[in-house]
Amino acid sequence: MQLKKLDLSEGVSAAEDVKPVSDPDVSSTDPVKPAPDTSKSEPTDPKTLKTRRSLKKPLIILSVILLLLLITTAALAIPAYLMMTPAKLTLSSAQNAAAALQSQDLAATQSELVAAKDHLVKTQQQYRYLSWTKYVPIIRNYYLDGERGLQGAYHAIEAGQSLAVAIEPYADLLGFKVSTESAQPDATSAEERIVFLAQTLEAISPQLEQVAKDLDLARDQINQIDPNRYPVTVANKPIRANVKKLQETLSAAHLALTEAKPLIALLPDLLGQNGEKVYMLLFQNDAELRPTGGFMTAYAYVKVDRGKLTPLDSYDIYDLDARWNKILPAPDPIKKYLPLVNNWNLRDMNLSPDFKVSMETFLKHYQEIPGVRQIDGIIALDTQVPVELLKVLGPIGVGGWGEFSAENDPRCDCPQVVYALENIATRPTNYIREDRKAVLGPLMHSIIANAMGSPKSTWPQLLNVGLNALKEKHLLLYFPQESSQTSAEGFNAAGRIRSFEGDYLHINDTNFAGAKSNMFITQTVEQDITLDANGSVTKTVTITYDNPHPPSNCDLETAGLCLNGVYRDWVRLYVPKGSTLTEVVGSEVAAVTNEDLGKTVFEAFFTLRPQSSSKLVFTYQLPDTYSTPFPMLIQKQPGKPNITHSIIFNGQPVEYTVQGDLEITLP
């Protein structure tokens, strides 16, 4: 029998991957174990081996990805977890500070701001451990937003702390509670606090500059966050809206401080800290509405020296006209719409809706009268100012004139002081009563005296009356001195018609009837705005006037008090310069278009009887082209109450209550 020769080369390719298996724990003396049969467990087919090798790579890659994911999760989760506690404490302290501020506890507000700042610093320290994520696409933006939010919060807290320090000396005037250590010596009267205010207010300007700087930094950081990057809600909690609200709050705070700084700069000089000042108090009767707030019915003088107010004499406006020996022809609107008046009297010289322009005209001719006082400024106020002051002070008596209060009088459904003033100044009598409109001077004298002697608890309320009157344009300031005028304009207290980049609307009504019908008329405004694809804007402004009250007895023979009579209204719409009028509905005369104060003006005229209503509808085209967001400035006429504006922008309705000048942006 012959042995067949074995050709080992045939099995090389199949066995070349097979390696001997050795066990280091088995000694050389151990019995030799038979080698396992690998013919079944280890494939020898080349295709199978290739497939296995190709599967190993994805498994390795997947393992690496999972490992990286675990590391990344840990790198995110651990700092996030460590950051959670100080972040919650920061939020809690900030909320406590806001609550303390709301309850006017300045000491608690300061304490909580210190705590919030400490917790915020710790939060920032933990957040830095996530800084590597700013190099990761997508995640980068969210990390940067968090960084901006923390930086913005830090600067906002800094601003709050600086502001608290600045206002601490005036905490009692502002109605805040302070710590015993920082409390100012108890003042015996409001007059003493005003003197202190005049002496020290200039010192807080550097602190306010720091507040403004920190607010700017906070706003710059927060405004870099894009609200649209975030969902509307998470777990039913609003996210996007809260980001927008934070941005709006910082912008509002910045605007409030921007407007307050000129007032604070003005007050020391206004209060006579740098020398005695004499001001004219000019009373505008808003029941007989005129362009700057009301018919100029009376005036008085007040002297201010280092914070001390001294009321001087007061007069009827007709007395001033009687002493003016010039005759000027009346402007066309007076000749056209004010019956039987052909000359331009001082009392009618507030024809421009811009208070500065009107007062420059008035003061020029006032100074032509021999023997009049030289004045350092004009402070104009309407009936709402004494009404609001009497709400705080309560009823007061005025020698020779009786008692005045803010309580409702059913004879006019208005405050008693308003009815009493109109009754004294307007009702016909069968005897001569000189200077009867001069009652406003003694009334303000009594109000000032009562305010100066009022308890400390009323001081913040009295301050708020003044600030609200300025904001709502029931109190206006004019100064011949340029620096003082600039400060007043910076606080928007000067009644100016303002420039604005965007849409603009100012509705100016002039009562040329003599009756006090504005007491009974309510006004609402609807603006329908259409922005087409080309950027062209068409506007329809509808003004509704409603007088539901019965007419007054306007018969001179029966000596009735003519309050609610026929209303004769010269209406002017101030709109962006270059606007084109398409149509006016409701005017009793042909509409007129002209230009004034850098605006295009549409004029109309109508009459309104008691227990009736009327509408004026203006349709016009704005100049140039616009896009969204759509900016608009609505300027309220001085002397008017708050007015509702219903705005429909490309079919989307929104409603605003216009209390003063209002800037809005329509999306």
- Token pair for 475: 């109190």
pLDDT of residue 25: 43
Question: How many residues make up the chain in this entry?
Answer: 667
161 lies in the same domain as 128: yes
C-alpha dihedral (604, 610, 614, 616), degrees to nearest 10: 20
pLDDT of residue 103: 86
Q: How many CB atoms lie within 10 A of CB 93?
A: 21
Nearest-angstrom CA–CA distance, 560 and 397: 25
Contact call for residues 597 and 640 (beta carbons, < 8 A): no
Listed residues 456, 490, 524: the one ending a domain: 490
206 lies in the same domain as 325: no
Inside any domain, residue 107 = yes
pLDDT of residue 585: 98
Q: Strands 414-415 and 599-608: what pairing?
A: unpaired
The number of domains in the chain is 3
Question: What φ, ψ does residue 370 adopt, rounded to 5°?
Answer: -65, 135
Query: Which residues of the chain carry a pLDDT beneath 70?
Result: 1-79, 81, 178-188, 426-438, 556-560
Q: Name the strands in the sheet holding 599-608, side by side, starting at the edge strand that comes first in the sequence.
A: 592-596, 599-608, 567-576, 503-511, 630-635, 662-666
- Token pair for 167: 């206002």
Q: Strands 233-234 and 475-478: what pairing?
A: unpaired
Listed residues 208, 234, 264: the one ending a domain: 264
Eight-class DSSP state of 651? T
516 lies in the same domain as 461: no
pLDDT of residue 444: 87
Inside any domain, residue 29 = no
Q: Which residues pair with 527 in a beta bridge?
A: 541, 647
Listed residues 217, 238, 264: the one ending a domain: 264
Inside any domain, residue 14 = no
pLDDT tens-digit profile of 254-271?
888 888 888 888 888 899
486 lies in the same domain as 520: no
Nearest-angstrom CA–CA distance, 457 and 173: 9
484 lies in the same domain as 515: no
444 lies in the same domain as 508: no
117 lies in the same domain as 258: yes
pLDDT of residue 115: 94
Tokens 């329908």 locate to 528
Inside any domain, residue 35 = no
Structural domain boundaries enclosing 250 = 64-264
Eight-class DSSP state of 239? S
Inside any domain, residue 36 = no
Inside any domain, residue 211 = yes
183 lies in the same domain as 292: no
416 lies in the same domain as 451: yes
Contact call for residues 528 and 508 (beta carbons, < 8 A): no
pLDDT of residue 590: 97
Inside any domain, residue 25 = no
Nearest-angstrom CA–CA distance, 200 and 216: 26
Q: Which of 228, 188, 450, 191 is CA-nearest to residue 304? A: 191
390 lies in the same domain as 353: yes
- In this structure, what CATH number is given to the domain that contains residue 532? 2.60.40
Inside any domain, residue 41 = no
Amino acid at 249: T
Contact call for residues 609 and 647 (beta carbons, < 8 A): no
Nearest-angstrom CA–CA distance, 304 and 269: 10
pLDDT of residue 3: 39
Eight-class DSSP state of 39? T
Q: Which of 207, 209, 201, 208 is CA-nearest to residue 272? A: 201
Nearest-angstrom CA–CA distance, 513 and 111: 59
Eight-class DSSP state of 493? -
Q: Which residues pair with 105 in a beta bridge?
A: 177
- In this structure, what CATH number is given to the domain that contains residue 320? 3.40.630
C-alpha dihedral (560, 563, 564, 570), degrees to nearest 10: 130
pLDDT of residue 507: 99
Q: How many CB atoms lie within 10 A of CB 32?
A: 7
Q: How many CB atoms lie within 10 A of CB 641?
A: 15
200 lies in the same domain as 301: no
151 lies in the same domain as 246: yes
Of all helices (H) and strands (E), which one includes residue 582? strand 580-585
Contact call for residues 529 and 630 (beta carbons, < 8 A): yes
